Structure 1
């Protein structure tokens, strides 16, 4: 029996922003990325968002968020960083998982990695903040990111590695609807990967819950996260029936997973045996469907 594959993406540097290589079909279908970018769904380098800051101050701070401080080196590989995070948090017995751009990339989204996210139980948020603060030789507390696309994170701790253009934001499990955060929600550990990675179903269910929550003010942002995962992992009606509990969250995912909804997002030409999909290459689509954690 062959082992489940990992979605075929590799990290690289794009204009100073770390990302994983875009899957072959998405490289061929540049219009998909252009469509997403034109709708502000992919934060592209140089895309400055309107803020209340003075224009010159904003550009300076945005440049730091993008390029780091003077003298910073780029960090093309995240594994050494995750390994250090694991040591820091495991020593304090704090359960954590990776969320944000890097997890979206793992699950097939063509998302630029603008920083790393560490998710911990809400009751451990202050302890996790202290752990990073005390690791003062490795990182330092830093202001929130300035772009509007990151405004949703402004109240959570953010840190910057010394001498490296890399930021880490710490969020509570309640932010992603993952409470309680337990190790049972993580895929089996993989050799050479220190990231605890969520099963797709938990991430989708949590985001869908937040998306349908009428008490939050970021419906568009949460909807965007859902669409990234739906299109990146070819989520469809059958997947929803197998993995999601009945309710408003499941209904929202199924609605965004219909043929009509996918055509609206990724175009009318992306068909594979009658299915609307981002992946029309047999080998690539097979690897996507067998991504560890998808099922």
Structure 2
């Protein structure tokens, strides 16, 4: 259900040449973070947010949805278009249209994983295939891990957004990032972002539950799983 909703939303935007990519819980799922999907968050260029929302509603497949009460994890979505699918799908998720600037992904065309990176058919994260089958993932625009992590760190540093900090921390754990990965992928993002990412890496062991049986991070069980994660397109591990 959610897969169809995601694909239809992206196809409509693409047909009108509005560049887009998934963010939020879906992007975290893609990079092995076990987040429950509440909303389908779609990122578009900031100037085209109103146009994208109006376009989706004009098809009759979506309608404006009333704002919902926010919490620590959802406050950043407030004030942006929230769309509910009409009766064509039983999917319960809303579609939230968010600006690329909120995630530091501008320009989007430089921050998205290229389709050709899926040519070798690597295995995706186990967290995403329950929502989007691996055979369809190459057609889903996803932000590169380095771009997503930098954007979240920057939002925390500039706005004290705790939700961004939690998501950045979970990306570090979900992909078992280390200091070498940071040196190769985000060293040019600024000293403050680089230092924050290093702090998150050094804290990986402190976030592990001693009763979980995991040996790598709170989300990665063992070396075999950690090695598979390096094949996820956009992860930045391929240059290691």
Match of residue 112 from structure 2: 186
Rounded to whole Å, the distance in 2 between the matches of 1:277 and 1:154 is 30
Could you say which structure has the larger radius of gyration?
A: 1
Match of residue 101 from structure 2: 174
Aligned-residue RMSD, C-alpha? 2.0
Describe the SS at the equivalent of 1:212: helix
Cα shift at 1:128: 0.6
> Per the alignment, do residues 112 and 222 of structure 1 end up closer, same or farther by CA in structure 2, a change over 3 Å counting?
same
Q: Deviations over 1:146-175 (max 9, x none)?
A: 241322211000011123212100000011
> Per the alignment, do residues 241 and 217 of structure 1 end up closer, same or farther by CA in structure 2, a change over 3 Å counting?
closer
Describe the SS at the equivalent of 2:136: coil
Q: 2:81 aligns with which of 157, 160, 167?
A: 157
Match of residue 10 from structure 2: 86
Match of residue 229 from structure 1: 171
Match of residue 130 from structure 2: none
1:36-75 matches, cutoff 5 A? 75=1
Larger deviation: 187-196 or 245-254? 187-196
Q: Check if 1:287 corresponds to 2:214.
A: no
Match of residue 198 from structure 1: 143
- Normalised by the length of structure 2, the TM-score is 0.80
Q: Deviations over 1:3-58 (max 9, x none)?
A: xxxxxxxxxxxxxxxxxxxxxxxxxxxxxxxxxxxxxxxxxxxxxxxxxxxxxxxx
Q: Is the 8 A contact 1:101 1:115 kept in 2?
A: yes
- Normalised by the length of structure 1, the TM-score is 0.66
Q: Deviations over 1:211-237 (max 9, x none)?
A: 111xx252x211101111010000111
> Per the alignment, do residues 113 and 229 of structure 1 end up closer, same or farther by CA in structure 2, a change over 3 Å counting?
same
Q: Check if 1:125 corresponds to 2:54.
A: no
Rounded to whole Å, the distance in 1 between the matches of 2:219 and 2:198 is 17
Rounded to whole Å, the distance in 1 between the matches of 2:47 and 2:205 is 42
Rounded to whole Å, the distance in 2 between the matches of 1:82 and 1:271 is 32
Cα shift at 1:88: 1.1
Describe the SS at the equivalent of 1:290: coil
Rounded to whole Å, the distance in 2 between the matches of 1:200 and 1:152 is 20
> Per the alignment, do residues 282 and 253 of structure 1 end up closer, same or farther by CA in structure 2, a change over 3 Å counting?
closer
Q: 1:143 aligns with which of 52, 66, 70?
A: 66
5+ residue gaps, structure 1:
1-74
Q: Is the 8 A contact 2:70 2:78 kept in 1?
A: no
5+ residue gaps, structure 2:
119-134
Q: Is the 8 A contact 2:153 2:168 kept in 1?
A: yes
Match of residue 129 from structure 2: none
Describe the SS at the equivalent of 2:13: helix
Describe the SS at the equivalent of 1:208: helix
